[in-house]
Structure 1
Amino acid sequence: MTTQQDQHLDLWAGTEAVLFDLDGVLTPTATVHELAWRRLFEGYLDEVGAGPAYEDGDYFDHIDGKPRFDGVRDFLASRGIVLPEGPLDDSPENASVHGLGNRKNRIFTSIIENEGVEPFAGSVRFIAEAKSRGLRVAIVSSSRNAPAVLRAAGLADEFGVVVDGAAAAAEGLPGKPDPATYERAAELLGTPASACVVIEDAVSGVQAGAAGGFRAVVGIDRGAGRGALLEAGATVVVQDLDELL
């Protein structure tokens, strides 16, 4: 794979399965996650009087694509803040890694429940095309909310395999940029990594795909930047999956 320019990609020949990230790839919930993280950390930094203030770049630099609690740890580390882990089900009111992570989840869930989520039309068409060609499909998401988002978007019946944050935690799989969750999805589909295409919008997710020996990694630029996705190991970068149809 090149980090300098997109390679030509014959997507369908030799591909047996497509492994999709969810937020930002199939649904615009990446923007909802970004908003929820902003509200979480703006509120927390204000509570403790710490700085510097939360900025736009913090999401992509420290949080995007990572398991929720890793995002909490990494953002806090960027501010020189260390908190106790707390129990996994710690109260959202508590100042712990798990407490803040659960607070973020509460904010995200509230936004989804009140506003819903509409999948990207181009992604829906791409899923239909892939399945019409007999390709297997799976979701690989760091979010523990993946099943709820799929239901809200009307996509739950499209995917028999979902490796989300909860499944990763239950199986002890490290999160992206480690390729373990993508490798697990390929295993569940019964497809070798060399015949799977990974589709991602996050730098950490592209890095996971590039590290896993997959046939190709398609980066979707929803804000991370084309150059950053190529540098992370994307085979090709598009603005929308419609471009590959």
Structure 2
Amino acid sequence: MLFDMDGTLVDSEKVWDVALHELAAHAGGTLSEPARLAMVGGSMAVSMRILRDDLGQPHRDEAADVRWLERRVAELFAGGLVWRPGAMELLRAVRAAGLPTALVTSTGRRLVEVALDTLGRENFDAVVCGDEVTAPKPDPAPYLTAAELLGVPIAACVAIEDSPTGMASAVAAGAAVLAVPAELELPPTDGVHLRDTLVGVDPEYLATLFGRVAT
């Protein structure tokens, strides 16, 4: 089992929303809604490029902005994260079934360590962070890395995602993909099974995704 984090397991995209708007204000500007939505599911580097372009400040110090943003998000994460509907129950069921499980996120290690206080380190056999892979989502590298760490063929894995960027990464890697929208509407996509919520999803349901026509 391969779980995305932000927007999939926890409702942390709203935390990022607060911090990114605060960063834009710190820079003397305002983050537009289209720019914010374009960041969902993307890497830090991509998000910072979108921010600079949106603010019309192409020469901003990216490293300084990343440090500012990570400090603020860490503060917000430390206050506790809200689980997405059905996510905690599914994760517990997957672990109870003894399925190898990885967290596969575009978020960097520093912030993931804070989030794991909510998610539970014991719930994951491997954790793949956005700053620890050769290429971020939508490249397949994060999911391929996770499958390798678990010692499970990627074709035998189910990836659970909430964004087009994450979906693209998991599909390209060769996993079965279940997607539940959070911040963005998800259009029907070849190779992706769409649901409105994770409520009611269990290991038995996940097993049926292999070989099914995407819906």
- Asked if 1:31 corresponds to 2:14, the answer is yes
Aligned to 2:83: 119
Q: How does 1:1-245 map to 2 (within 5 A)?
A: 18-46=1-29, 53-61=30-38, 63-78=39-54, 80-83=56-59, 95-113=60-78, 115-120=79-84, 122-144=86-108, 145-151=111-117, 153-168=118-133, 173-214=134-175, 216-227=176-187, 230-231=188-189, 233=190, 235-245=192-202
Unmatched 5+ stretches in structure 1: 1-17, 47-52, 84-94
With structure 2 as the length reference, what TM-score do the two structures score? 0.85
Structure number with greater CO (CA < 8 Å, separation at least 6) is 1
**SS across alignment from 2:138:** coil
**SS across alignment from 1:241:** coil
RMSD: 1.9
**SS across alignment from 1:143:** coil
Report % sequence identity: 25
Which is greater in Rg? Answer: 1
Residue 70 of structure 1: how far off its partner (Å): 2.3
Aligned partners of 2:139 and 2:169 also within 8 Å = yes
**Cα distance in 1 between the residues matched to 2:152 and 2:49:** 34
Residue 154 of structure 1: how far off its partner (Å): 4.5
Unmatched 5+ stretches in structure 2: 203-215
Aligned partners of 1:179 and 1:209 also within 8 Å = yes
Residue 128 of structure 1: how far off its partner (Å): 1.9
**Cα distance in 1 between the residues matched to 2:200 and 2:23:** 35
Aligned partners of 2:163 and 2:186 also within 8 Å = no
**Cα distance in 2 between the residues matched to 1:212 and 1:23:** 20
Flag the 1:234–1:42 CA change in 2: closer, same or farther, 3 A. farther
**SS across alignment from 1:218:** strand
Deviations 1:183-231 (A, max 9, x none): 00000000111111111112111111111111x111111121032xx34
With structure 1 as the length reference, what TM-score do the two structures score? 0.75
**SS across alignment from 1:226:** coil
**Cα distance in 1 between the residues matched to 2:56 and 2:27:** 14
**Cα distance in 2 between the residues matched to 1:198 and 1:154:** 17
Residue 54 of structure 1: how far off its partner (Å): 1.8
Matched residue count: 200
**Cα distance in 1 between the residues matched to 2:70 and 2:26:** 14
Aligned partners of 2:13 and 2:183 also within 8 Å = no
Aligned partners of 2:137 and 2:169 also within 8 Å = yes
